[in-house]
Amino acid sequence: MITMENVCKSYRIAKRNAGFKEACKSLFHREYEEIHALKDVSFTINDGEMVGYIGPNGAGKSSTIKILSGILTPDGGRCYVDGRVPWKDRIRHVSEIGVVFGQRSQLWWDVPVIDSFELLKDIYSIPHRVYQSNLDELTELLGLGELLRSPARQLSLGQRMRCEIAASLLHSPRILFLDEPTIGLDAVSKLAVREFIRGQNEKHGTTVILTTHDMQDIEALTKRIILIGKGQILLDGTLEDIKKGDGNIDETVAELYRTYEI
């Protein structure tokens, strides 16, 4: 179970106007702006739930994921994942979760993908049998096959992304955080990844938290959605709650953003 209670996080950002004069001025005097990435964020997610976490750019989605995965310490509030405080108990916590950051890469650039996987096997101390069966399953479902033998640098974005997702699941995590996992995927891969995530949830009862701008992902995968804007939770409900009539999902969400002025 995941609980977040009144979690806050703010960043200090140096700002200035355009131009050379301004750049010189900022040498001596810097203006900072306090950005509240998260303000009083609270929610509870039960085991085995699949939740879509949506919001416009800069709403605080990634900050939430970072806090939940233990790599960012919030300024205030409480957060427990299966009874653990992620950032205090980092090493124990991260062995139970899987994370995909769609923007970043965890594969070793110059060696075949399978070498990165073998490394993860040792890092997470995955028993050989479990590793082999997970790998076989992932290879089949995500169509990895020959990709595993090529160096990560020579894969296309979509191919790499499928490997990244596989890498995050090798240790059969109980909770999965997906931060924009379908970036750059072609239609076939997208469907495969969705199918796969749904399967993980059904078969293993994996809790999934998904942030994305692709509303079809949300539609295909999650029943519950949490809407965040300007660092605050604005809505926590089902997809049906926000859908009015049979409008296009993208339009519905855009309409939603407009009503909340975010």
Partner 1 sequence: MRKYLSFFRLRFSMGLQYRTAALAGITTQFFWGAMEIMVFKAFYEAEPESFPMTFEATVSYIWLQQAFLAFFAAWMIENEIFDAIMDGNIAYELCRPIGIYHMWFSRSLANRLSRALLRCFPILLIAAMLPAPYGLHGPQSMLRLLVSLLTMALGLLVTVAFCMLIYSLTFFTVSPKGLQILFTSAVEFLSGGVIPLPFFPERIQRIMELLPFASMQNVPLRIYGGSMWGREAVNAVCLQCIWLVVLIAGGSSLCRYAEKKVTIQGG
Return residues touching partner 1 (CB under 8 A).
11, 62, 66, 69-73, 87, 90-92, 94-95, 97, 99, 101, 103-106, 108, 110-111, 115-116, 118-119, 121-125, 179
- For residue 204, the surrounding DSSP H or E stretch is helix 187-204
> From the CB of 101, what's the least distance to partner 1, in Å?
6
CA distances from 32 to 15, 168, 178, 260 (A): 6, 37, 31, 27
Amino acid at 114: I
> From the CB of 74, what's the least distance to partner 1, in Å?
11
> From the CB of 109, what's the least distance to partner 1, in Å?
8
CA distances from 48 to 26, 149, 176, 194, 199 (A): 50, 33, 10, 16, 12
Distance between CA atoms of residues 96 and 217, nearest Å: 24
Nearer to partner 1, 180 or 217 (CB): 180
Nearer to partner 1, 101 or 196 (CB): 101
> From the CB of 77, what's the least distance to partner 1, in Å?
17
How far the first Cα of the chain sits from its last, in Å, is: 29
> From the CB of 37, what's the least distance to partner 1, in Å?
10
Nearer to partner 1, 115 or 137 (CB): 115
Nearer to partner 1, 88 or 223 (CB): 88
Nearer to partner 1, 49 or 164 (CB): 164
Nearer to partner 1, 167 or 193 (CB): 167
Distance between CA atoms of residues 68 and 85, nearest Å: 9
Identify whether the C-beta of residue 103 lies closer than 8 Å to the C-beta of residue 183: yes
Identify whether the C-beta of residue 2 lies closer than 8 Å to the C-beta of residue 207: yes
> From the CB of 231, what's the least distance to partner 1, in Å?
15
